[in-house]
Amino acid sequence: MIMLGIETSCDETAAAIAEGKGKNVKILSNVVSSQIEIHKKYGGVVPEVAAREHVLNILSVVDSALEKSGKKKIDAISVTIGPGLITSLVVGIETAKVLAYARKLPVIGINHIEGHVYANFINRKKDVEFPAMILTVSGGHTMLVLMRGHGRYKTIGETRDDAAGEAFDKAAKLMGIGYPGGPAIAAQAEKFQTTNKFEIRNSKIVLPRPMINSGDFDFSFSGLKTALFYELKKDKNWKKRIPEYCYEFQQAAVDTLVFKTIKAAEKYKAKTVMLAGGVAANTELRKQLEKAVKEKLKAAFVMPDLIYTTDNAAMVAAAGYFRALKKNFTPWEKLKVDCNLELK
């Protein structure tokens, strides 16, 4: 099956062509038009600007994905319908509806989080063993999801306020080191690690590990951001210690994410632990979660290739393929934005 995926949930205009056979998904093309440079000057995504850029780019991105794939015929379309920015989602959905009508193709509405989950199924040589515990971390979401099989999910924990990626953005803004915050903080943290080598734990800066001992699987990162704010406020020389602050902030977030994921995987006897979402590109999170899984669990560890961690349409096409196997299509006339869409 040849699947066209379309993703416009935030500030990336993306389209991809995937070929599915059995339980394998191969990506034939993956085109992403990023708006990062446009939104940098605002320190975050401006919805109205993002939507206008999607309108300008969507057709050329879809055409490019089709051309690069070498395929003239597609069998179905999958498109992100939520959650996300409403005005951005509308552009992708309306494009999918027109194409579905014009080409008489079946269409599938995809949950954005499910898309991130299925980034782990792209180009996989081995089947994933279920149940799987999935840590999904991005700018808008931080969740622990139990996946019992394809299309079978249960959310067992989520953030009560800021998502991890959002907290990174806000922390980076406090320190004036740029946008997006995740890569900026990671780069500064690496400077501190490189300089201090094996003495990195000797940092005198101590930030909280929020809700790490709460007894549940929920997260909270607004308090971590606030703690950083007050540490900076009382330190007259904080600008000279930015790498150290970034190291401690990143480590506090990683410690919390890893600890709760391991505990959740233990409780639900997960055979696989997966990492998904934009923050899954963070090197320390990838490294430390993999190490924890290997040392503390009898489970496999799966994470997507870096190119599939941030928002892209390849993951949407992959999720659409597995939905198509179950005939989970939506009439194009009924396709609409659903920002309250649950993962189920």
Query: Closest Cα partner for 270 from 244, 309, 302, 316?
Result: 302
Q: Is the preceding omega at residue 304 within 30 degrees of 0, hence cis?
A: no
Q: How far apart are CA 110 and CA 315, in angstroms?
A: 10
The contacts of residue 340 (CB under 8 Å, 6+ apart) are: 82, 83
Residues in the annotated binding site for substrate: 136-140, 169, 182, 282
Pure H helices in 24-177: 36-40, 47-69, 86-103, 112-118, 164-175
Residues in the annotated binding site for Fe cation: 112, 116, 311
What is the maximal distance between C-alpha atoms in the chain? Answer: 65
The angle subtended at Cα 71 by Cα 65 and Cα 72, nearest 5°, is 100
Residues in the annotated binding site: 112, 116, 136-140, 169, 182, 282, 311
Q: How far apart are CA 115 and CA 64, in angstroms?
A: 21
Instruction: Please give the backbone phi and psi of residue 306, each rounded to the nearest 5 degrees, phi first.
Output: -55, -35
Query: Closest Cα partner for 77 from 65, 67, 60?
Result: 65
